[in-house]
Amino acid sequence: MDLNECPYFEYKCQKTIDELRKMGLDIDEDVSDDDDAQVNPEDTARDRFGETNVDTTKGVMRLVWARMIWVMADAEGDDLSRLYYVIAVGKTILFAEPVGRIPVASMTAQPLPHRHIGMSVAETVTDLQDIKQAIKRGGLDNLYLANKRRHVISNKVNLEDFLDSRPGGLVRMVDDSMPAEGHVLPLVHPFAFDTIIGSLEYFDQDRQNRTGASRYFSGTDAGAINKTASGTMALQNMASMRIEHIARMMAPAVESLFSVRGRSSPNTQTKLLRSSSRQVDLG
């Protein structure tokens, strides 16, 4: 996205009153950053990162939402629109000056509707990490129950001996009670460790589909030698397409970033690097 085509662009971040004053801005301690008294349900639904938290600190360390705004406007009344850079807190304008361009490069791997900040690759697989952790814990719990099963015991069994689970340990019983009278009954738990741990393969495959980082593409699959060459090549091509898609989404932002960097230092002298018989302009 070329932000210089936008007639209005804004981003905001939290800064203390002290930080804004150190930037050379004249700001009161009791300034209000509440530019909209009514809570918009649509904005609340899109608040994925908890951006609407209210700070109750007093004095110069109070956090306020500082708005950095680039807007096309006819502020001078000469029927000509210009691009202005404005710093505001709520509806209070602290700084304004005309500028030549918006020095912001928008870069995101996976854009989201109605959001300037999209999703990273890590955000697409974070839930899978939590799921796999829960599955591993469930599989280990099943294995623990298989090794040390639960029992139903009567009052004829010495509880202290029974709670001390040692390999080959003895369990005493009350006098005049026999082991065959059913004072100890094991609870049967299905052994499903293999099935539980085997289900991790499904989520590994889902992770590869979401990110495009396939094991075949990275060459870490020990069993890939048993796969057909055409099938492995097809999987590699699919993974490459996913990674290429992310690269294509971020490529215009990299171009814009270098353009912003070049415009931000117009007084930098051109340096020449002599290499063999040609000169390379480093900028």
Looking at residue 139, its pLDDT comes to 92
b (16+ CB within 10 A) / e for 57-95: eeeeebbbbbbebbbeeeeeeeeeeebbbbbbbeeeebe
User: Would you say residue 80 has pLDDT above 60?
Assistant: yes
User: Would you say residue 57 has pLDDT above 60?
Assistant: yes
Give me the percent of the chain exceeding a pLDDT of 90.
Answer: 15
CB atoms within 10 A of CB 242: 18
- pTM equals 0.52
Mean pLDDT confidence for 158-184: 78
Over 183-204, what HEC string results? CEEECCCCCCHHHHHHCHHHHH
Mean pLDDT confidence for 57-67: 85
Looking at residue 174, its pLDDT comes to 79
Mean pLDDT confidence for 147-167: 82
Give the pLDDT band (50/70/90) at residue 41: confident
Per-residue model confidence as pLDDT tens digits over 226-266: 456 665 566 666 667 777 878 888 888 788 788 777 766 55
Per the prediction, the chain carries an average pLDDT of: 77
Give me the percent of the chain exceeding a pLDDT of 70.
Answer: 73
Give the pLDDT band (50/70/90) at residue 272: very low
Looking at residue 187, its pLDDT comes to 83
For residue 135, give the nearest of 220, 186, 192 by alpha carbon. 192
> E strand or H helix at 273, and its extent?
strand 272-275
Q: Give the angle 246-248-249 at the CA atoms, nearest 5°.
A: 65
Q: Which of 46-55, 103-112, 146-155 shows the lowest mean pLDDT across its residues?
A: 46-55
Looking at residue 140, its pLDDT comes to 93
Looking at residue 108, its pLDDT comes to 81
Cα 243 to chain center, whole Å?
A: 18
Higher pLDDT, 115 or 90: 90
Give the pLDDT band (50/70/90) at residue 215: low
Looking at residue 237, its pLDDT comes to 66
User: Would you say residue 220 has pLDDT above 70?
Assistant: no
Q: What are 158's strand-pairing partners?
A: none
What is d(CA 91, CA 34) in angstroms, rounded to the nearest whole number?
Answer: 8
What is d(CA 131, CA 207) in angstroms, rounded to the nearest whole number?
Answer: 12
